[in-house]
Amino acid sequence: MSENTNSNAIYDLHDKPPFLVWLGLSLQHLFSMFGATVLVPLLVGLNPGVALFTSGVGTLLHLLITRGKVPAYMGSSFAFIIPMASLLKTIGYPAVAQGIISVGLVYLIVALVVTFTGTGWIEYIFPAEVVGPIIMVIGLSLAGSAASSATMLNNKYDWRVFVVALVTLLATIAFNMFLKGFLGLLPVLLGIIFGYIVALMVGLVDLSPVASAHWFQLPNFETFIGKNGFVFYPAAVLSMAPLALVTLSEHLGHLMVLSKITGHDFFANPGLKRTLTGDGTASVVAGLVGGPAVTSYGENIGVMQLSRVYSVWVIGGAAFFAVVFSFIGKLSALISTIPGAVTGGVGFMLYGVIAAAGLQVIVDNKVDYSKKRNLMIAAPILVVGIGNFHLQLSSQVDFSGVAIATVLGIVLNLVLPKVAASEK
């Protein structure tokens, strides 16, 4: 190994482990992100094989753009589930693709702005009192969707769905609490597998798509151009682009954590402009081929923190395996047979974890809610976002509650005085 900048590292950024060790460490990263990355397209209605492909390609692009200096894995983002699902149902994938591409373009525009202005203004509009509640809203706004998936089958209540969802949730909690080592990194994936087995036992799974799928086949790639040619969908851009502001704060947070645990200042080298460009390019490419928007993954940061392995070679290996796995047709077909009861049960945990992450931001930064200003920012963000207080200008232009809550939080933070008149 080369000399480590971080003496606590087993393998530092540019250390290349022996082949078999490299293989094992890369698979560990792949499996740690696998459950969440394929869950997003399952919840939205996109192809899981394409999501695997775009997560791998996006990660490799991010490594290339950051000059191999940031060990970040790019997985499917949960922030865009609601608008993606709505657009896919009402218009089709070309609209979803345009929305995802617009998200990537927002990142690229911000990267360009950062090049000339620095990062102070981003930190100014995204303090903890805004970021915390917004992250909570991203998770809690999906609670209704999870509950519906966990109780309904063909728009009718089914006790089997309820039982499978509950068993999946409890299994995921148990795996998270009682497993350790390598298996302890896979509670979501193991929860899905356990729930899937129970769903098979009660007759909620149809395996015929697996039997008819080929072992090797191209993922179901799609584009932003429909069957009848290119049509611009402003609703897609207006409903998804504002949410890039939410994932921008997530990007900053992940970069701060990575810098802390690895001992490398990624804000200085390669710089925020390159990390933002890497994220934005990954989402643009995902939108061009049929995948969901992508973002850096906390699961993989956790793996690095536990293993003390920060090697970009390991992250690159995980990305390579993701691309290879996306071409295994039977695997994609098997993933597509996972019923809503299972995804809903896991969703109860995952969406709650996202909300808890927002709460952690508030706690870590000691946001004081005895101060009226902080309360006046958090309260409307939570209710507007969770209640989906949306602005529908037409059948194609609909600002989701999460988007409205994000913009509202930013505006309130900018215009409200630091101290309320009654507190002076």
CA angle 213, 218, 220 (to 5 degrees): 85
Structural contact between residues 18 and 302, judged by C-beta atoms closer than 8 angstroms: no
Question: 353 lies in a domain?
Answer: no
In whole angstroms, how large is the CA radius of gyration of the chain? 21
* Phi-psi map region of 127: left, alpha, beta (phi>0 left; psi -120 to 50 alpha): beta
- Which residues are bridge partners to 385 per DSSP? none
Please state the domain count of the chain.
1
CB of 233 closer than 8 Å to CB of 91: yes
Inside any domain, residue 391? no
Name which of 165, 80, 84, 178 is nearest 349 in CA terms: 165
The DSSP symbol for 139 reads H
Taken as a whole, the chain contains a residue count of 424
- Is residue 219 within 8 Å of 327, Cβ to Cβ? yes
pLDDT at 186: 66
How many C-beta atoms surround the C-beta of residue 1 within 10 A? 12
Does the predicted model carry a pTM greater than 0.85? no
Range of the domain at 262: 19-124+142-241+256-348
Q: CA–CA separation, 217 vs 332, rounded Å?
A: 10
Q: Which two tokens stand for residue 242?
A: 């504002």
- Structural domain contains residue 380: no
CA–CA separation, 380 vs 18, rounded Å? Answer: 53
pLDDT at residue 374, rounded to an integer: 94
Is residue 71 within 8 A of residue 372, CB to CB? The reply is: no
Per-residue buried b or exposed e for 19-46, using 16+ beta carbons within 10 Å of the residue's own CB? eeebeebbbbbbbbbbbbbbbbbbbbeb
At 377 the pLDDT is 95
Query: How far apart, in whole angstroms, are the C-alpha atoms of residue 295 and residue 58?
Result: 9
Does residue 393 belong to any structural domain of this protein?
no
Q: Which phi and psi angles does 68 have, rounded to 5°?
A: 65, 35
Query: Which residues, at least 6 apart from 120, have a Cβ–Cβ distance to it below 8 Å?
Result: none
d(CA 99, CA 234): 9
CA–CA dist 131, 122 (Å, integer): 11
pLDDT of residue 104: 94
User: Is 79 a member of any domain?
Assistant: yes
Residue labelled with tokens 């903890």: 128
pLDDT for the residue numbered 182: 64
- The ranges of the chain with pLDDT < 70 are 1-7, 35, 122, 181-182, 184-186, 253, 298, 306, 393-398
Q: Which helix (H) or strand (E) holds 391?
A: strand 391-392
pLDDT recorded at residue 320: 94
Phi, psi of 328 (to 5 degrees): -90, 100
What is the pLDDT, as a whole number, of residue 287?
92
Tell me if 315 is assigned to some domain. yes
pLDDT of res. 395: 53
Asked if residue 75 belongs to a domain, the reply is yes
Instruction: Please give the pLDDT value at position 4.
Output: 44
Residue type, 168: T
